[in-house]
Amino acid sequence: MQFNSNFNDIAESYLFAEVAKRAQSYGESHPDKKILRLGIGDVTLPLAPAVISAMHSAVDEMSRKQSFRGYGPYEGYDFLREKIRGYYASFGVDAGMDEIFVSDGAKSDLGNILDIFSPGGVALIPDPVYPVYVDTNLMAGRKTVFAAADRGNGFLPLPDNSVNADIIYICSPNNPTGAVYDFGGLKSWVDYANSRGAVILFDAAYECFVHGNLPRSIYQIEGARTCAIEFCSFSKIAGFTGTRCGYTVIPRELVRGGLSANKLWLRRQSTKFNGVSYVVQRGAEAVFSPEGMSQIKQNLKVYENNAKLISDCLDGLGIYYTGGKNSPYVWLECPGERDSWRFFDKLLEEAQVVGTPGAGFGKNGEGYFRLTAFGSPEVTAEAVERIKKLF
Ligand code: MLT
């Protein structure tokens, strides 16, 4: 039996594993240096007290015969799906209970969703992009084409009718660039997808950073229910990166060749997935309580302040960047350097600050660099001071 040779087409290590490896190796050879990590977008604030208290109660329930729970529903407990439904309603989206599927995170669902598509076809992926979209399609042997995101289009590419695509990836607010589509931009993609029977995979993992009159969900766009699947996560909104919980929304109207994407996904999940633990789902439910919401908003404010600190620093240095507003990522042009891995080394060696090189997100990311606002305020402030001194 042979192994999947499509793996030959992807980079040997996952981008963030490579960044961590290089930072660790530098740390080992320079034990006296304090390294400040603003590379992977991993949260640093603890879970909100309301979440912790709900999880403690759930653990107690599991300790008693009368309230113990075994396998949960494949699509998630109703108590959590009702809350997710209510959250969507708060920005005007009507998502049916049977359209919401709870999972262990957006990253897994974004990879696993490919199970429901027929083999072949073309995936249209922005460049630069969250590497999971590209890698998972290459692993499946699907052809990928790229929509160039660059300074010229503000890192928000629009559809090109001469390009044929079957699956379209959109992430807004974007990882890595922090750019956010407006209603008109997303409407163009929805119209493009509907016109050719394509399916949009919309990654909304960073919607909680959106302020003002910008879309947080693809379903705020007319026509999206016939062409889009949306992925969201508790990782960024509520610090669940280590706890693991997310959700995917698949409208009933998303049907191709008589097959319902919603039904296929339920079939896929019930075959390959046994749900998220009861304790974690109770914690996720608490995110939507008034107390939980107010606590997580305070945490989000901390990350937003970090983003502002980084943006203000770049403004002061006259360095071009996108993001930082409506996004926890700041995407900057590498000052004085086109090679973003070389810039990574420079920042690590001369300032002991770790970021993520743009080239890791695609060809168009070359010359750019991503800093995350998910660090602690202290680490962010110190990193900013070191960057100021360097340039
Ligand atoms: C990132 O740094 O891009 C994210 O943390 C990755 C993820 O959410 O999986």
Q: Beta-carbon neighbour count of residue 26 at 10 Å? A: 16
The predicted structure's pLDDT at residue 337: 81
Point out the domain boundary residue: 236, 256, 289: 289
Residues of the chain with pLDDT under 50: none
Last residue of a domain, one of 289, 321, 349: 289
Q: Is 14 in the pocket of ligand 1 (CB under 6 A)?
A: no
Report which protein residue has its CA nearest ligand 1's atom 4: 41
Q: Assign residue 74 the CATH number of its domain.
A: 3.40.640.10
pTM for this entry: 0.97
Q: Note whether 206 and 107 are same-domain residues.
A: yes
> Could you please report the per-residue DSSP string of 294-356?
HHHHHHHHHHHHHHHHHHHHHHHHT--EEESSSSSEEEEEPTT-S-HHHHHHHHHHHH-EE-E
Residue 372: the pLDDT is 98
Final residue before a domain boundary, out of 233, 267, 289:
289
Same domain, 283 and 297: no
Inter-residue contact 363 to 370 (CB < 8 Å) = no
> Could you tell me if 254 and 277 lie in one domain?
yes
Ligand 1 near 107 CB (within 6 A): yes
What is the β-pairing status of strands 353-354 and 199-203?
Answer: unpaired
Q: Do 175 and 274 lie in a common domain? A: yes
For the stretch 178-217, pLDDT in tens is: 999 999 999 999 999 999 999 999 999 999 999 999 999 9
CATH classification at residue 386: 3.90.1150.10
17-54 tens-digit pLDDT: 999 999 999 999 999 999 999 999 999 999 999 999 99
Same-domain status, 130 and 246 = yes
Q: Is 248 in the pocket of ligand 1 (CB under 6 A)?
A: no
**Residue listed under structure tokens 């001194």:** 389
User: Based on the domain organization, do 278 and 168 belong to the same domain?
Assistant: yes
Same domain, 263 and 119: yes
354 and 340 belong to one structural domain:
yes
pLDDT of residue 238: 98
The answer on 226 and 185 residing in a single domain is yes
Is there a single domain that holds both residue 25 and residue 135? Answer: no
Q: What is the pLDDT of residue 335?
A: 94
pLDDT of residue 12: 85
Cβ 42 under 6 angstroms from ligand 1? yes
For the chain, how many structural domains are there in total? 2
pLDDT of residue 331: 98
Q: Tell me, yes or no, whether 28 and 111 share the same domain.
A: no
Q: Are strands 122-127 and 167-171 parallel, antiparallel or unpaired?
A: parallel
Write down the pLDDT at residue 338.
86
Per-residue pLDDT at 37: 97
Residues 224 and 338 occupy one common structural domain? no
Q: Which domain holds residue 35?
A: 5-47+291-390
